[in-house]
Structure 1
């Protein structure tokens, strides 16, 4: 067990931190894109979650038809999250080969043997460790939350048994799903209970794997841009006190600058290719969060002065915003590190170049002035967007409560 969680330690190698959480989560589900054959468990988990989504959505719609608003929203909120997770599973299968290619390209760039300086190694190690620990937080929180939901009926039954009130208890499944009556009675109920509980874990591990893959990729792209900044500074550092350079020094400096530009172009192309493959997933994440927030607003109007119900759906809203934070922070890391490259280049003694060679510097500065954006239609993942969503959500909640 300790071998699986080595990435939580501080003294590990870069290879241990590299995509640690997505690799752990997606390997369990069978969706890790590295490998020739698709594991059979990937299709099994897809079918399990598809059944769970269909039955959960049907149960939510039936509750709406019976005017059970509270129960309907309690059912539809997790059903929406599971439905988006099912879409992620489909897209992970659809772009399996592309994700594998991108992962190998990123690994080749990050583990480049030419980057031997201690500063460059520290940057890569710091960003990888940070990404692993941030990704582990939503995965562990989701796992324990799902476990609490799954144990809730058992704990209620245990409390009633200790109070000698067994006749007051009626067994129910952790998540509200439409099931045939025969599956909700003996001897099939334990199997139904296990199946219902397991669908929650499929959602959690796919969330931790798919979204963790996105954040890891953004964090490592940011690390690559920072390494390029360190390399540019190291290239010009020996000539910081020079007024002029010899032809040999100019040739050496130009050759190193061309190498930096080639790597810069490779990182930009990789970022664009990755953004295109994750466009639908990112957009679906924003839409699902908006749906949960909308359901919360409707529930706040329906619940009236029921403080417990209002607190419950505010918690749903916070959970949806927490999911968005992973995407928004990842987009901010890429954008800020890509634009910082032009400031680093401008601060170096580039005037030592001859006019013809200065074009390399000018092209690099011009291209890096425009940030690399992970934007999707209607949304641009960034901390500014996340802050705007928080501000809007708080305003809507305050407005809804003022009408009660």
Structure 2
């Protein structure tokens, strides 16, 4: 068990941190990207069927509560149902692009762990981003696990409290999530198995969004690291010539070859980022839409239950988990955008005027291409910290509006 969480330490090899949380989550569910010729693990199909049953029965229960005008129960049901439905979509898309994601992961690893002429500064950049990605990815997975556990333990804890108060006749055994199940499954001797099945659907959701969202942030973090490594490489290339007024033909030739290698690597990073952005566009868009709905449902539920102990704790945990998921996407988009723009600033601050007029074109093309930030944007949304701040501001306005009607 300790070996699984080695990435939380600071003294581990660089390879330990590389996609640690996404691999832990996706491999557990059977959805870690693989090549076309590799067989899909049976547990992947089993988990897909389990979650599909959970989504259908939960949505059906939510619609029934709406039809009966039980708004609080409907929101309480549709909140996790929305998250599970989007997670089911993520599972489908992870299967659909399984080989493409494997190719992107392999290419990213080749670029990141390129051992040719690696400098200590470049290694420190890679290590810093890898450790940061592992720890940030572990946060939404932890909050999601806590929220799901709270949901699963709520009926048991309520029954236990009633038992301690010697009110056993008032105990009402219910499932952790509201799902429409056949009546026979909600009675002895099948009820414990039904309870375990429903509780497990929640953990499938948690580990799948922890893996899929973690894969996104890990990719963004390492792309940002590659841009920063390029910045360090450019500084190192021009450092020997910063005090010179003129370069010899040999020096000019060597500098040009090094700059061409930087440009080739820069183009490879941009192409890889764009390819990943296209593959993750639907997942990102669906996540933003669902997370906004979940935050809204959770806040309305929180205002409805007020300070009702366990219920309030549950919705606070759910809101924090949803915001943590959004933060992962927004911070990842910001890392990529800022690091890609900084490349132009670093290039402009180097003594590139020492180059010949023909060679300066390489520099100008690099600056021009870097001036426009790489964006992980999808239709209607551009993941960034500014977007996250706008969501928080809108959420605060919704709370103030609902409070005014109370």
Compute the TM-score of the two structures, normalised by the length of structure 2.
0.95
Q: Does 1:165 align with 2:173?
A: no
CA distance in 2, matches of 1:135, 1:244: 49
Residues 3-402 of structure 1 correspond to what in structure 2 (within 5 A)? Answer: 3-35=3-35, 36-296=38-298, 303=304, 306=306, 308=308, 316-402=318-404
* Segment of structure 1 superposing worse, 286-295 or 96-105: 286-295
How big is each residue's C-alpha offset from its partner over 1:206-263, in whole Å with a ceiling of 9 and x where there is no partner?
Answer: 0110000000000000000000000000000011111111111111010000000000
Give the CA deviation at 1:115: 4.5
Q: Which moved more, 1:83-92 or 1:142-151?
A: 142-151
Alpha-carbon offset, residue 158 of structure 1 = 2.4
For 1:332 and 1:163, the matched residues in 2 are separated by 52
Moved beyond 4 Å, runs of 4+: 296-301, 305-318
Indicate how the Cα distance of structure 1 residues 296 and 187 shifts in structure 2: closer, same or farther if over 3 A, else same: closer
Deviation of 1:14 after TM superposition, in Å, equals: 1.0
Task: Determine if contact 2:59/2:81 at 8 Å carries over to the other structure.
Answer: yes
Q: TM-score scaled to structure 1, two decimals?
A: 0.96
1:90-144 CA-partner distances (Å, limit 9, x unpaired): 0000000110010001000001112410000000011001000000111122112
Q: Are 2:147 and 2:318, in contact at CA under 8 Å, matched by a contact in 1?
A: no
For 1:146-189, what per-residue CA distance to the aligned partner results, in whole angstroms no more than 9, with x for missing partners?
12221222222223333322211011111111001000001111
Q: Quick check: 2:30–2:40 contact (8 Å CA) kept in 1?
A: yes
- Give the distance between the partners of 2:255 and 2:18, measured in 1 at CA: 32
Compare 204-213 and 107-116 and name the one that shifted more.
107-116
| Shift of residue 196, structure 1, vs aligned partner | 0.4
Displacement of 1:306 in angstroms is: 4.6
- Unmatched tracts of structure 1, length 5 or more: none
8 Å CA contact 1:49–1:86 kept in 2: the answer is yes
- Superposed CA RMSD in Å reads 1.7
Gaps of 5+ in 2: none
Q: Which moved more, 1:163-172 or 1:232-241?
A: 163-172
Out of 79-88 and 164-173, give the one that drifted further: 164-173
C-alpha distance in 2 between matches for 1:54 and 1:179: 11
- Alignment partners' CA distance in 2, 1:151 and 1:27: 26
TM-aligned CA deviation for residue 396 of structure 1: 2.3
TM-superposed deviation, 1:300: 7.6
Q: Is the 8 A contact 1:75 1:175 kept in 2?
A: yes
Are residues 6 and 318 of structure 1, via their aligned partners in 2, closer, same or farther at CA, if it must alter by over 3 Å?
closer
Q: Is the 8 A contact 1:115 1:121 kept in 2?
A: no
Structure 1 residues 379 and 341: CA distance shift in structure 2, 3 A: same
Q: For 2:57 and 2:291, how far apart are their aligned partners in 1?
A: 21
Alpha-carbon distance in 2 for matches of 1:20, 1:129: 10
Contact 1:82/1:203 (<8 A) preserved: yes
Give CA deviations for 1:69-102 in whole Å, capped at 9, x if unaligned: 1011000010000000000000000000110010
Tell me the matched-pair count.
402
1:294-351 alpha-carbon deviations (Å, 9 max, x no partner): 43576589x4x95547886566444433221110000000000000000000111101
**109 and 296 in structure 1: CA distance in 2 versus 1, 3 angstrom threshold:** same
